[in-house]
Amino acid sequence: MAALPDSKPTPMMAQYLALREEAGDALLFYRMGDFFELFFEDARTAAAILDIALTTRGEHQGAPIPMCGVPVHSAEGYLARLIKAGCRVAIAEQVETPDEAKARAKREGTPSSKALVGRAIVRLVTAGTLTEEALLEPRRANVLAALAELRGVIGIAACDVSTGAMVLEDCAPDMLGAALARMSPSEVVVPEDWAHGPDDAIFRPRSTFASDAGADRLKALHGVATLDAFGAFTRAMLGAAGGLIAYLDHVGRGKLPLLLPPVARAAAAGMAMDEATRASLEILESTTGGRAGSLIGAVDRCVTGAGSRLLAEDLSAPLLDVQAIEARLALVQFWRDRPIERAQLRDSLRAIPDLGRALGRVVAGRGSPRDLGQLRDGLSEAARLHHWLSGAPDRPALLDDVLARLTGHGALTDWLARALVPTPPTERGNGGFIADGYDAALDELRATSGDARRAIAVMEARYRDETGIATLKIRHNGVLGYFIEVAARHADALMAPDSGFTHRQTMAGAVRFNSLKLHEEAARIAEAGGHALAAEEAHFEELVTEVVAVREAIAATAAALARIDVAAGIAERAAEGDWCRPAIAEDAGLAITGGRHPVVEAALAKAGERFVANDCVLASDNRLWLIGGPNMGGKSTFLRQNALIVLLAQAGCFVPASAARIGLVDRLFSRVGAADNLARGRSTFMVEMVETAAILAQATGRSFVILDEVGRGTSTYDGLALAWAVAEAVHSQIRCRCLFATHYHELARLAETCEALSLHHVRAREWQGDLVLLHELAQGPADRSYGLAVARLAGVPGPVVERAKAVLEKLEATREATGGIAAGLGDLPLFAALRAEPQPASPEQQLAEALRDADLDALTPREALDLLYEWKRALPQARG
């Protein structure tokens, strides 16, 4: 933030400036009555983002103070827009009443008329620490991550503050990008001056990332003497956990949100995918932003926000354990085979509130009576589902596992049902959420208040009769309380000394009065109402305490409901699109019959068009497919659809195919399409090479790689050479399953020397001068690229296409005469052979090596001279 002006401020401005300094880089919401006010640069920033009026208030150093404000009752909407714009907001609330401020001023010897209400920052609102329903996306997790490095290993602590889920893991520094891409955190916290975190990371003191302190914080948080029951955590994990908890304590000003016991995630627990692969496959977000056009947008049929969040987690981290995958698939199959029961289940789930987030708000101290009502209703419905599903025959093991977590809340739900009204309000300040009959004393207070209100209504009728003023009304507001109001023309009669009325306020067209009897009834209402509100508040805190005590069991129920919703949603999607259950194997094969791209197929269906399905069969003796054919022919779609089918299968989902057998894939790589990364100074070709280098360095024999147009971003010779070498390396060194799309026809010659490489192409035909793309994959090399036909189809002017045709004919004639640019490549030894026979060092290289090895400081003058003569004798030989 910009530095604030330096002058002698008023007491209120002095208070503001102190809080402003404490807020650091966050905007300061300064509570003044019913508004949060912002001043100076904060006001300018907020006014521009929120599109609200920027005004001024008083002066500071002779200049007007910029100011803007938002109403307290609607602050959440404004906070959401500020957070989305990348801001952090400090909330400064009034922490004492005006009467308390006056009493404090009296104790301090300050005139009570100048008493300033005390204020303090009660919370920092940041992107990763949101719990309010209005600030969160229902179908997207909101992850906060903390990173800590210890002895070359990076620990990662991640939690979704809105639900309390906490996961600890570690990774090598070069895998950090992939781990963060999988989590997609809203906010990342790192030690100060640490250079490996994201550009927008939040820096915190290094001392908070100590591993011993992290272990102690976790033990204290969960009330245990040892963490052994939660899992085995490395020192790096514990350091990251310590930094995470310390940051949450900082932003919550000592009030921690819901944090469930941590779960250790093994580095090899799921299929690895780097950031480029996730972006290329558009798993959770399309390249244009948002769910539309992404994999999850085409797959998600969950009816609850928690289910959608869990599905996103499944798709982000596909499994490597065959039994775990089969358990998920069996649950999907169970619901796929029962369409009537599935529809009933989805109707029931649709009515269940978001238990996890309601629990998160309650534990964080931001809960409302409505949240307690949601817990009551959701847990009651979970118990009903348990009763219904427990009688279902042929239940899969995973269903039995989740059913066991749906019950055990009977006492709590009964208590909440007795204590709360059927539809509790979102605010508890006005009361009215405790049910009649729960507390006899509260009922009596309400009766007293109700009697007094009825007495006031009777009093209003009597006063009309006594004064003859038919328009006389008894009203109420927050300043005057209850008062009698008459039109100005009738006021004289009530002004008389013996009228029994006391003048309170004169308005433009009305005059307000009080009376002794009205004052007495108003006092009865205020006293009874105050006691009633206090009683309801006490009951609320009591109910919250009971909920907090069983928070882990409630969170387990919420997770179980989400798993059921995911399985039923996948079954629904499978029924819609005639998707199949994949077979999962431990070998390195891949056999997909009638595979389709889920996103493209859905888009074509909306346009009334049919997707052309294709097969893909890879095995140890046929593991690399070289695919040619025209642009727009479907090569990239074919590559991506097979990668997505593998991903879906290992996530435990049915897949868009007639049949599929998937050999486990440990790492999935996609180098399909590239764009400039100007922020990092990388051209399109540089991005392509960086991604290709990552594949060659990290892929294993159990990986699945899709490569599209490697080498296209540079000259023809360089591009062909790179594509040739990369294809050889994937085939002969990595030996993994790979789909390799290219326009370099010359690469077809690789089939002569690479025994596990086969040639394929996407079919196309020209009919009466027009290109017809068949989108079918066929065996054999492509006969031509159809580039000119595609250009004509794209609208390139006819003369340009004709000129290109003439140039092409000339080039093809030259190629036939010379053998083309790939002439002689068939005589090259294979990549493996080149690696196996390193070339001897040249004389120049030998001399340079001798110079590097020479210890010049240890040589005597005579030894140095002898060495120079020796090198000089060698130079003619090196140049000869």
Rounded Cα–Cα distance for residues 49 and 455 (Å):
51
pLDDT at 745 over 60: yes
Three-state SS for 110? coil
pLDDT at 1 over 50: no
Q: Which residue has the higher pLDDT, 807 or 51?
A: 51
Task: Find the angle CA(697)-CA(703)-CA(705) to the nearest 5 degrees.
Answer: 80
Exposed e or buried b per residue across 315-351, where buried means at least 16 C-beta atoms within 10 angstroms of its C-beta? bbbbbbeeeebbbbbbbbbbbbebeeebeebbebbee
pLDDT at 827 over 90: no
| Residue 413 DSSP symbol | H
Q: Is the dihedral of CA 229, 234, 235, 237 positive or negative?
A: negative
Contacts of 95 (CB under 8 A, 6+ apart): 118, 119, 120, 122
In angstroms, how far is CA 262 from the centroid of its own chain?
Answer: 19
Three-state SS for 122? strand
pLDDT at 486 over 80: yes
pLDDT number for residue 674:
55
Average pLDDT of the chain is 87
> What's the pLDDT tens digit per position in 182-198?
999 999 999 998 888 88
Cβ–Cβ < 8 Å for 244, 189: yes
Question: How many percent of the chain have pLDDT more than 70?
Answer: 92
Rounded Cα–Cα distance for residues 383 and 410 (Å):
8
Give 705: exposed, middle or buried? Use CB within 10 Å, 0-12, 13-18, 19+: buried
- From residue 175, how far is each of 145, 146, 156, 690 by CA, in Å? 15, 15, 12, 14
**Range with the largest mean pLDDT of 115-119, 596-600, 811-815:** 596-600
Rounded Cα–Cα distance for residues 644 and 599 (Å):
10
pLDDT at 711 over 80: no
> What's the pLDDT tens digit per position in 443-471?
888 888 777 778 888 889 999 998 899 99
Rounded Cα–Cα distance for residues 789 and 802 (Å):
11
pLDDT number for residue 277:
93
pLDDT number for residue 834:
44
**Among residues 167, 199, 422, 350, which one has the least CA distance to residue 269?**
167
pLDDT number for residue 769:
62
> What's the pLDDT tens digit per position in 313-354?
999 999 999 999 999 999 999 999 999 999 999 999 999 999
Task: Find the angle CA(178)-CA(180)-CA(185) to the nearest 5 degrees.
Answer: 155
- From residue 367, how far is each of 269, 375, 553 by CA, in Å? 35, 11, 18
**Range with the largest mean pLDDT of 439-448, 518-527, 589-598:** 589-598
Instruction: With cut-offs at 50, 70 and 90, classify the pLDDT of residue 858.
Output: low
| Residue 114 DSSP symbol | G
Could you tell me the pTM of the whole model? 0.84
- From residue 188, how far is each of 84, 128, 156, 161 by CA, in Å? 15, 8, 10, 13
HSE, side-chain direction, 13 A CA sphere, residue 559:
16
- From residue 297, how far is each of 173, 595, 599, 606, 682 by CA, in Å? 32, 19, 8, 14, 31
pLDDT number for residue 799:
86
pLDDT number for residue 551:
95
**Among residues 242, 284, 282, 279, which one has the least CA distance to residue 259?**
242
- The mean pLDDT of 237-241, rounded to a whole number, is 95
Q: What is the DSSP string of 717-733?
A: HHHHHHHHHHHHHIIII
Rounded Cα–Cα distance for residues 194 and 236 (Å):
14
Give 441: exposed, middle or buried? Use CB within 10 Å, 0-12, 13-18, 19+: exposed
